[in-house]
Structure 1
């Protein structure tokens, strides 16, 4: 038998972590790329702005006054600085104190009032020959007898070199980021595989186990693996309990039924070959009694199997024991078990609440009632009441009750003597005792002159909690 193919939509933990890391790095890479590009633009602007400042200062220093006129001797060093941006166009202009263009381009833009942070120096962006450009306006003041006023020097260049430097800085940053991201992903995958190795070891341990081996796993290891191992151990413990219940049911059935079935077969064989009508009738009567007793035994064994199953899986709820007492009497099952036997109900006006499983309690009470009908004397009374903070569901009859041997063997799964006779009083008491213990209670009995009373004693639940 081959294992079913895994769901195609499911992903391993390693794949999920890898996808998460890649997505995180991609988002982080986009953010860092934008940050790197912004930093590159700022760095490129500052670098080339210094060239403009150097060139403008060189030109401004070359201006002098001769005979009351401005004389400009353009320095070669200014243009050498601007020529460092080989592919960019260069623009310059010198204005006299009267605003007249002394040299350079006549149509260069001038900064607006908002672009002039200071009186002496101002950077501004504008177009030049259809291309975006960066400009610097530098003011030099003269205070001579022959000439007084401000001379403006405007120097600019297009942005090709600036943009190229910004892109180059961004590319270098992205290359480093990509290499670092790849290294982080590889290291992260190695760490994830190393961290998940105990989980794989746990899976391998479980897969290599024998199907019948439900012993606890070793919970030692990382905390997360220990939690998983403890959860698996809890599940296997519950599974083992269910298997034990099934094995016990099969064992009990084989043990309890072997003797009465063999007796029925022997008596039926005798009746089949008996020629005397009177003896045949006695044998048929014995077979009938055995069959009725065997049916009662089977009912209680199935009841025990149901109770054991529900004790492991049923959810505890608030149950009023008065309702249990009323239900088992009103169901009328006692009329089929012991026709004509008087059965009474005795409950009070106050609730008798417990936290338990109603079906399990009902089965336990039915077994107590069945034992009273089969082995006690009428009248039989079913009741529920409170006594000293204890909730009691009880069955009483006018008889002496089970023998001391049966009471002392309470809790055993079966009685050999009962099985040999096809009886089941001990099994019924065992069911009731198991239910009482499962809900934190006990089974109590009292035999006196007034008859025999047996009670399931549980802790009362206050205010329905």
Structure 2
């Protein structure tokens, strides 16, 4: 039976998957942020070059005619700026005296006009309530009529830049998402492959026979060596405990049964012939209590042995007829009442079951003993039969039997169906546990004209021994 796993404890695979997804998520967020930064930088550089080129073309168009500074704005400059269809363009041409030749009078450069500034540098600014990028070009005039520095200021809104930044960022985000997804899927396959030794170790432990306490020998990575060593150390200690328990049961059976048998013999030797009436009553009570103590002790030891063997003995194909016959011989005492007719019936073809012969013999002995002590009046029959799927051991007596409402209670420990008697012990409880350990059941058949029947049902072994 497999142990139940704690539902609130996630698997190692789930933990690794969560941590890897967290790392990949943080990495993807950082990459998307970097992509946005580089996309914005790339968009600014691209449109800034157009803006600077337009400013330089406007500055080159300045000329002195008839002693007057004139400007003929080139169409190509506006064509360059027209590549950004969404943006608006603002410009201003300033003569050597600081007067506006053409353009917007209120357009200002963020830095003073006479400050040293690289012609390729573009600055951020605000014009008419909108963020703009501003480029400035300087034209030095050395004409006798007009000399000094003239300036061209060109500003452009940021809509096209922002659109290009968003487009580049979106493409980079899609690429990062696809790569992260592929990395996550690949990591999951890698984790599955890396955890295969753990699954192999678990499968090897699950497949082991419950009675096999030898060290586990499975090829595992070095990281799992301490775990395998702990399992083997635990199994070694468990094997020692099992051996100690076996010796204890054997010693207890010998040390307890021997004095009880001697005590019963001594009581029988005393006799009741020389005792008065009161003494004979006390004598009978002592003998009854001694017999009950002996039976209960035997049943307790038998119960302990059955429990132990259910967990430590490997089942094997056995003949149910042979087991039932040995149980029949062991359960029928030599001093049985000669007025009781006792019989044993078995089929010619011996049905085989997969089981433990010792435990099954104890179960059948307890059922027969219970029938002799509490049921049989003049007849007791033990039968073995089988059908296509199951084998049956039936113990039938002509006693009053157990009423149907008491069947469930009868298989409980220390339960009795007779209110005037003490505890009936563990007879049916032992038989019930043995039947369950063998995949069978212990049932009852209501009394009919023949009598009351206890039925031990076991699955039939498919491949009969030759």
TM-score, length basis structure 2: 0.55
The Cα shift of 1:247 comes to 1.3
Distance (Å, rounded) in 2 between the aligned partners of 1:98 and 1:213? 105
Give the Å deviation of 1:102. Answer: 0.5
When you count helix as a share of all residues, which structure comes out higher? 1
Deviation at 1:66, TM superposition (A): 2.1
Written as runs of structure 1 = structure 2, the 5 A alignment for 1:177-192 is 177-192=176-191
Any conservation in 1 of the 2:55–2:137 contact (CA below 8 Å)? yes
Measured after TM superposition, the shift of residue 16 of structure 1 is: 1.7
Residue deviations 1:309-345, cap 9 Å, x none?
A: xxxxxxxxxxxxxxxxxxxxxxxxxxxxxxxxxxxxx
Residue 380 of structure 1 corresponds to none
Q: Does 1:132 align with 2:116?
A: no
Q: Using a 3 Å threshold, how does the CA distance of structure 1 residues 31 and 116 change in structure 2: closer, same or farther?
A: farther
Contact 2:94 2:101 in 1 (8 A): yes
**1:2 deviation in Å?**
8.4
C-alpha distance 236-177 of structure 1, shift in aligned 2 (>3 A): same
Number of aligned residue pairs: give it. 281
In the TM superposition, residue 239 of structure 1 has moved relative to its aligned partner by 1.6
Query: Over residues 99-147 of structure 1, what are the superposed CA-to-partner deviations in whole Å (9 max), with x where a residue is unaligned?
Result: 1001112221222359966275652222233321111111121223222
Deviations 1:188-230 (A, max 9, x none): 1111111111211221222222222221111422122332222
Which deviates more, 152-161 or 228-237? 228-237
Secondary structure class of the residue paired with 1:153: strand
Q: Tell me, what secondary structure is at the counterpart of 2:216?
A: coil
Is residue 56–residue 136 contact of structure 1 (8 Å, CA) maintained in 2? yes
Query: Per-residue deviation at 1:178?
Result: 0.5
The 1:274/1:141 distance shift into structure 2, 3 A limit, reads: farther
Alignment of 1:255-404 (within 5 A): 255-272=254-271
- How do 1:181-220 residues align onto structure 2 when only pairs under 5 Å count? 181-220=180-219
> Which residue in 1 is equivalent to 2:146?
147
Shift of 1:88: 0.4
- Taking a change above 3 Å as real, the CA distance of residues 3 and 239 of structure 1, as seen in their structure-2 partners, is closer
User: 1:49 is matched with which residue?
Assistant: 48
Residue 148 of structure 1: how far off its partner (Å)? 1.4
The two structures have a TM-score, normalised by structure 1, of: 0.55
Classify 1:194/1:120 alpha carbon distance in 2 versus 1 (closer, same or farther; 3 Å).
Answer: closer
The 1:19/1:115 distance shift into structure 2, 3 A limit, reads: farther
Residues 87 and 160 of structure 1 are in contact (CA less than 8 Å); yes or no, is this contact kept in structure 2? yes
- Specify the alignment match of 1:90 in structure 2: 89
Instruction: After superposing the two structures, state which structure 1 stretch, 59-68 or 254-263, moved more.
Output: 254-263
Superposed displacement of residue 232, structure 1: 1.1
1:67-101 Cα deviation digits (max 9, x unpaired): 32212121111111111111100111110000100
Q: Is the 8 A contact 2:52 2:122 kept in 1?
A: no
- CA 1:61/1:115 → structure 2, altered by over 3 Å: closer, same or farther? closer
* Pair 259,7 (structure 1): closer, same or farther in 2 beyond 3 Å: closer
Asked if the contact 1:88/1:161 (under 8 Å) is kept, the reply is yes
SS in 2 for 1:150: strand
1:222 match: 221
Deviations 1:404-429 (A, max 9, x none): xxxxxxxxxxxxxxxxxxxxxxxxxx
CA RMSD in angstroms, aligned pairs only: 3.1
Structure 1 unaligned blocks of 5 or more = 277-465
Q: Does the 8 A contact of 1:115 with 1:122 survive in 2?
A: no
- Which consecutive unaligned segments of at least 5 residues does structure 2 have? 276-466
- Superimposed CA distance per residue, residues 13-72 of structure 1 (whole angstroms, 9 cap, x where no aligned partner): 222211212222222222221111111111111111111111111111111222322121
Deviation track 1:147-172 (CA, whole Å, cap 9, x = no partner) reads 21111111111001111111111111
1:64 to 2:63 alignment? yes
Q: Which residue of 2 aligns with 1:17?
A: 16
SS at match of 1:189: helix
For residues 155 and 33 of structure 1, what CA distance do their matches in structure 2 show? 32
Paired position in structure 2 for 1:430: none
The match for 1:36 is 35
Equivalents in 2 of 1:146, 1:259: separation in Å? 142
Shift of 1:174: 0.7
1:233–1:274: structure 2 CA closer, same or farther, 3 Å change rule?
farther
Find out whether 1:165 has 2:197 as its counterpart. no
2:443 aligns to what? none
Please state whether the residue corresponding to 1:193 is helix, strand or coil: helix
CA contact (8 A) 2:93 2:152 kept: yes
Contact 2:55 2:77 in 1 (8 A): yes
Distance of 1:119 and 1:172 partners within structure 2: 33
1:8/1:144 CA distance change after superposition, 3 Å? same
8 Å CA contact 2:61–2:73 kept in 1: the answer is yes
